[in-house]
């Protein structure tokens, strides 16, 4: 099933998850128990990352995406990065996706890795989107950044780059995490002014520990509103309380987004069935 078709039903909000493969040193089966629990929540689809920091083999992404789709009965989206891939690498990956029945791809540039010389066949995600579109047969999602990509010159440049990505073939977008819904609404307004009309899923990450949020903010540059930082400060020495407060904050974000007509919610589960279940139970009737 092509993910684009999910957005054609305007009467409901698309609800999806993100998961990630285990480290290379761990057997791939080590995540299957958690994946089974997460899939049992029946999201509209689950995306599978390509590996932390843009590294990791496509084979694990493909295998997990295939397991989610064919083993657990939930549609999957495979992440695909290009900065460290040649054209031949991308061709081989796309062929593996086809053989495994993977129809949906989230096309990303990926992160530069220290000590690794990037390939030069694809410089930007828009180029990867265009290449996949020319190949045909895949539904292509793209990433977007409510507070602007950390490398973008300014908001205008960021939106212009996003338009290139959509024009190249991205049929829907998934946003980077954010903690202030006002930032997301301003971003959507800028998008529509630029005549980017494709559906957008809002990326929501529940904070379950302090180290997690510090790492993610350093990577993507998300701002922390005062309400959020007060929660962090109040519960940072009480892990279970911080986890539950993070879940509550995420639910509050999601409720507001749904009330304001968001196209979809993409929940960054961090492979945590408990968090995914708590949030799904809280918002399911609103979707």
Residue indicated by tokens 């961090």: 270
The two tokens of residue 236 are 């940072």
- Catalytic residue numbers read 18
Residue indicated by tokens 């220290």: 114
Closest to 239 in 3D by CA, of 220, 221, 212, 215: 212
């Amino acid at each position: 099933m092509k993910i684009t078709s999910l957005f054609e039903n305007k009467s409901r909000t698309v609800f999806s998850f993100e998961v990630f493969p285990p480290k290379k040193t761990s057997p791939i089966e080590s995540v299957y128990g958690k994946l089974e629990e997460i899939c049992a929540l029946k999201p509209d689809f689950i995306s599978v990352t390509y590996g932390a920091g843009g590294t990791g083999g496509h084979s694990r992404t493909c295998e997990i995406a295939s397991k989610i789709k064919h083993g657990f009965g939930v549609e999957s989206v495979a992440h695909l990065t290009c900065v460290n891939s040649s054209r031949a690498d991308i061709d081989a990956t796309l062929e593996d996706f086809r053989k495994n029945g993977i129809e949906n791809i989230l096309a990303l540039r990926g992160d530069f890795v220290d000590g690794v010389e990037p390939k030069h066949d694809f410089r930007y995600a828009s180029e990867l989107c265009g290449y996949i579109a020319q190949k045909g047969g895949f539904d292509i999602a793209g990433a977007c950044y409510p507070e602007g990509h950390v490398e973008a010159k300014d908001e205008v440049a960021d939106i212009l780059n996003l338009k290139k990505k959509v024009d190249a073939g991205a049929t829907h977008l998934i946003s980077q995490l954010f903690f202030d819904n006002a930032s997301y609404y301003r971003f959507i307004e800028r998008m529509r002014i630029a005549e980017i009309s494709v559906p957008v899923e809002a990326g929501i990450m529940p904070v379950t520990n302090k180290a997690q949020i510090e790492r993610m903010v350093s990577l993507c540059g998300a701002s922390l509103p005062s309400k959020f930082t007060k929660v962090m400060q109040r519960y940072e020495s009480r892990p279970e309380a911080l986890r539950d407060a993070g879940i509550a904050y995420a639910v509050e974000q999601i409720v507001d987004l749904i009330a304001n007509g968001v196209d979809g919610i993409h929940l960054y589960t961090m492979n945590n069935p408990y968090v995914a279940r708590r949030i799904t139970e809280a918002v399911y009737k609103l979707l």
